[in-house]
Structure 1
Amino acid sequence: MPGNNANRLAGTVYLSVDGQTYMLAGDFEYSPALVSRETLTGQDTVHGYSEKPIAPHIAGTLRDSGGLSVASINAMSNVTVVAELANGKTIIGRNMWTVESQSSKQADATIEVRWEGPQGSVTES
């Protein structure tokens, strides 16, 4: 679990889904963002922006260990994803589901996974 080294900002991540721990090979990311904005410009000036809702997400590259089932990852819906970061933050995603199609890359035994959820489903503390 993350230590109490106040100077550590990045590095280790411990990831679990519904209480089951997964090996995280790398590329962890998360976003609790609720909206996406796009600037609207005209021939004369900036007019403002458009805004639309987006799904908060948690994503990472898992290690395909012997006991892991790619099909079970694809079947995930309404799961709780918890990540403990090296900087002491805890990221929690509630009511999450996997998106995209997961596949195992045998060259390095990795699986890219992305969970998305409803508005407000990803929190950081």
Structure 2
Amino acid sequence: MADTTNRLAGLAYIRVDGQTYMLAADLTYRVSKVTRDTLTGQDTVHGYAEKPLAGRIAGTFRDAGSLTVANFNAMTNVTVTVELANGKTVVGRNMWTVESQEVKTAEATFEVAFEGLDVEES
């Protein structure tokens, strides 16, 4: 078996409520809890504003023949689990889909973005 000690990127797997889906590309995740904007005046930098930020897991999925794309639009309160090439696991709980899903037929792909209150990496 090949030594994967130095592998950092490449392979990724995604499951939604235990169901594995074909991940074509562009897997991203956000574990940040806040977003900050710098507040400036005419005289100097005054500080920053901070707002809560939803966790996010998103990617480009492959439209398999047995898949019903419309089911993604109906997903709310799901657990999304991601396994990465570097050995890291990312889990989002109580997530919902945002944006609508549109299939690109040339490659049979569509984008899905999940957002929720809790995305953690381990």
Q: TM-score range by the shorter chain?
A: over 0.9
CA shift for structure 1 position 4: 6.1
The SS at the match of 2:70 is: helix
The alpha carbon displacement at 1:99 in A equals 0.4
In the alignment, what sits opposite 1:55?
54
Query: What letter is aligned with 1:20?
Result: Q
1:3-57 superposed Cα distances (whole Å, 9 cap, x missing partner): 8612111101011101110000000000011111000111121110001111110
Corresponding letter in the other structure for 1:77:
T
Give the RMSD, CA atoms, in angstroms: 1.1
* Distance in 2 between residues matched to 1:78 and 1:123, nearest whole Å: 16
Amino acid at match of 1:108: E
> Hey, what does 2:121 align to over in structure 1?
124
What TM-score does the superposition give when structure 2 sets the normalisation length? 0.95
Question: 1:16 maps to which residue?
Answer: 15
The answer to whether the Cα contact below 8 Å between 1:13 and 1:85 also exists between their aligned partners in 2 is yes
Unaligned runs of 5+ in 2: none
TM-score (norm 1): 0.93
Q: Partner amino acid for 2:115? A: E
Where in structure 1 do 4 or more consecutive aligned residues deviate above 6 Å?
none
In the alignment, residue 14 of structure 1 is paired with which amino acid?
A: Y
The alignment partner of 1:104 has SS state of coil
Structure 2 distance, partners of 1:49, 1:88, is 35
Give, in whole Å, the separation in 2 of the partners of 1:6 and 1:96. 32
Following superposition of structure 1 onto structure 2, how do residues 107-122 of structure 1 map, counting pairs within 5 Å?
107-118=106-117, 121-122=118-119
Percent of aligned pairs sharing the same letter: 65
Q: Secondary structure of the equivalent of 1:80?
A: strand
| Cα distance in 1 between the residues matched to 2:9 and 2:109 | 21
Does the CA-based 8 Å contact 1:96-1:116 persist in structure 2? yes
Q: Report 1:73-112 matches (<5 A).
A: 73-112=72-111
Return the letter of the residue paired with 2:82: A
Q: C-alpha separation between the residues in 2 aligned to 1:32 and 1:4?
A: 29
Mapped to 1, the partners of 2:115 and 2:3 lie a distance apart of: 30
Corresponding residue pairs, total:
121
